[in-house]
Structure 1
Amino acid sequence: MPSAELLDHDIVDLFHNLFETTTEPILVVNPSRTEFNGLITAAIEFEGDLSELRVLTDEQTPKDIFDDFVTAGHAADLMADGRLSPRSTEDVARSSLLITADQAIPLVEVEGDVTGFQSDDPELVERMRTVFSEEWENADEVTLRTPPLSQVRETMREDIGEDAADDFDQILDAVETVDSDSDLDEVTICLLVAARNEVLLYDISKWGEDVSLASKATFSRTKTRLEDNGIIDTEKVPIEVGRPRLRLRFADEQLQDAGIDEMLSEVRTQLEA
């Protein structure tokens, strides 16, 4: 007999439970920003064989959540591996739904908590899966400009250095968001890492452009902003041919050896001045 069950889970736990019990593609329809973020977090954390996650969303939600560099970088990793396939459409169901091969779960979000009503009525599940799978097939693929975060970390470790990569990870762990509205976007963070490790501007900006993080011009403009705010300084390093290159360092030498939290606090103070 078909049954229904009231669910009351943290959204990440809910996705983990689904991942553990199904190998068929999971269809996620019209996720809220919280639900989409939870899906990406759960997928990155999951250590087993992950089903393909087919997401049908409106056009704005991916723009909102992928504005955050870390979220977008994780999503890019999942998309590169074929584990996440987000598509967008102008017309999408108003309710948030999770649909697997044998169950459908409408989701209701209240102040960040997610409650759903799980149904395994085979006729209902099949009908919903058919309808929304067709909509997903006909929707537009969501693309990302952000490179996979694993690639950013790996290439920084190889091209810039182990210490720089460790600092980069610690900064990402310490900040709440890394987006265009925050003082610390991804290019700013990379330049702080470079200054902390006395890396050449040429090296960090070339790496950033090669990994598709940002153009050399963007690195240069951001470096100028940090200089103007008295955060970083440069020293000329002669080379055999051509103009001298610039080595980055903190204007305040005490920041070179400061802890990550102390360094970020001081940087934020100077950016807000």
Structure 2
Amino acid sequence: MDVSDDLEAGLVGRRNVVAVGIGRELLPALLAARRRTDGGTWRLLCSSAVVDALGRAFVLGTDLATWAADGGGIDLRTSDGPATDRTLIATPDRGIALTGPEGNRTLLVERAVGGGSEDGEDDGTGDGVENGVERLRRTARAWFDGGTPATVGMPSRERLASSARSALDERFAAELTAVLDALGPGDLDRSQPVTDRTLLVALAARHDHLFNDVGTWAASVGVSPRQTLTADRRALERGGLIETVKVPMGIGHPHYRLRAVDEGLLRVPPARLVDLLRDRLGDVGAGGAGAGGSTEAGGGAPSRPVNDRPVWDRKP
């Protein structure tokens, strides 16, 4: 097992955990262990830079935001300086430290000999002398208590789904939940061609939503400013996956409805949607189309759906 696997295995079932100096690379293991543990409150201290970065990490950020919500099971705080310079994790029966250079990390584990139990109560077998685990736990708790309560700049999964259900529709919310459940914590990195913004526009096109509506919703829940979705919409258009149709909406700015025009995008199960987008958009940049784009850009013609009615007729 690697460090992450060892950490997850070492924390599962422990209801009273204090973890300080946790970097982004260890968060997936910590959250996986939290999911496999019933009850209790875990106290988590990260640097402000880590928490700030999670506000741009759709999958991992929404996962931690869910646990850090009121009553979610994790008390999240931030601190900069000595309190987060090194990684320490303490439970009543063991202390864990992360050592070694990046890329070759090792977990050092010290187990308490008497005087501790997994629920945090003294088991009556100690001699009254503070042992190494107790000292580490006291230090970690003091650093945590000195931190500042924090929130992640992403919505919780529950808020994401409920707001999508209200602002867009039930099908969009259900598919978004299914996609998130299928993704790993490092997926949809915004440095890659396919990001969370790409996913949201593609999902909206599967259900014929107005571009303005999905942008307004994404901004309202704190996922992304509305204007940042434009580049992803254009990439999907160049890739031959969607098109935008101007629809009559009365006086004011024109409204555009997103429409999926690729049969694969319409038919792929939600759990495989991101894989399809990566396959089709892997070589689509700011200036041209990829394999699914127009023949003028060097790609094949997009696959059109059998149902080619005007988009306002297709939408229930």
TM-score by length of 1: 0.78
In structure 2, what is the Cα distance between the partners aligned to 1:227 and 1:142? 38
> Would the alpha carbon gap of residues 270 and 188 (structure 1) be closer, same or farther in structure 2, given more than 3 Å must change?
same
Q: Does 1:90 align with 2:86?
A: no
C-alpha separation in 2, matches of 1:228 and 1:75: 34
1:152 CA displacement: 0.7
Q: Percent identity?
A: 22
1:118 paired to 2:111: yes
- 1:112 and 1:37 map into 2 onto residues whose CA distance is 16
The aligned counterpart of 2:12 is 16
Find the residue that maps to 1:144 and give its secondary structure: coil
**Which of 1 and 2 has higher RCO (CA within 8 Å, sep 6+)?**
1
Of 8, 11, 19, 1:28 maps to: 19
Q: Does 1:49 align with 2:39?
A: yes
C-alpha change, 1:36 and 1:218, in structure 2 (3 Å) is: same
Q: Secondary structure at the match of 1:106?
A: strand
Aligned position for 2:170: 162
Relative to structure 2, which stretch is displaced further, 177-186 or 64-73?
A: 64-73
Shift of 1:191: 0.3
Per-residue Cα deviation, 1:65-118 (whole angstroms, up to 9, x for no partner): 664311111111122225232322211376533223454333568868856232
Stretches of structure 2 lacking an aligned partner (at least 5 in a row): 116-129, 291-316
Structure that is richer in strand per residue? 1
Q: Is the 1:106–1:116 contact (alpha carbons within 8 Å) kept by the matching residues of 2?
A: yes
Q: How far 1:252 moved relative to its partner?
A: 3.1
Residues 65-80 of structure 1: pairs in structure 2 closer than 5 A: 67-80=56-69
**CA deviation after TM superposition for structure 1 residue 204, in Å:** 1.0
Does 2:177 correspond to 1:186? no
CA contact (8 A) 1:103 1:121 kept: no
Say if 2:50 is the partner of 1:40: no
Aligned partner letter, 1:130: R
- Report the Cα distance in structure 1 between the residues aligned to 2:179 and 2:153, rounded to whole angstroms: 22
Partner residue of 1:201?
Answer: 211
Do residues 130 (structure 1) and 138 (structure 2) align?
Answer: yes
**3-state SS of the aligned residue for 2:153?**
coil
Q: Secondary structure at the match of 1:153?
A: helix
Partner of residue 91 from structure 2, selected from 88, 91, 100: 100
- TM-score w.r.t. length of structure 2: 0.69
Aligned position for 2:158: 150
Deviations 1:167-216 (A, max 9, x none): 32343315661222222222211101011111111221121122222222
Contact 2:202–2:236 (CA under 8 A) maintained in structure 1: no
Cα RMSD after superposing both structures = 3.2
Count of residues in correspondence between the two structures: 260
Aligned residue for 1:268? 281
Give the letter aligned to residue 97 of structure 1. Answer: L
- Give the gaps of 5 or more residues in structure 1: 1-7
Change beyond 3 A, Cα 1:106–1:252: closer
In structure 1, how many angstroms separate the alpha carbons of the residues matched to 2:197 and 2:114? 50
Deviations 1:29-78 (A, max 9, x none): 333544322112222x2462232x22234454445566431111111112
Pair 215,56 (structure 1): closer, same or farther in 2 beyond 3 Å: closer
Paired with 1:254 and 1:40, the residues of 2 have a C-alpha distance of 33
Describe the SS at the equivalent of 1:204. helix
What are the equivalent positions in structure 2 for 1:247-258 lying under 5 Å apart?
247-258=257-268
Q: Which amino acid aligns with 2:168?
A: I
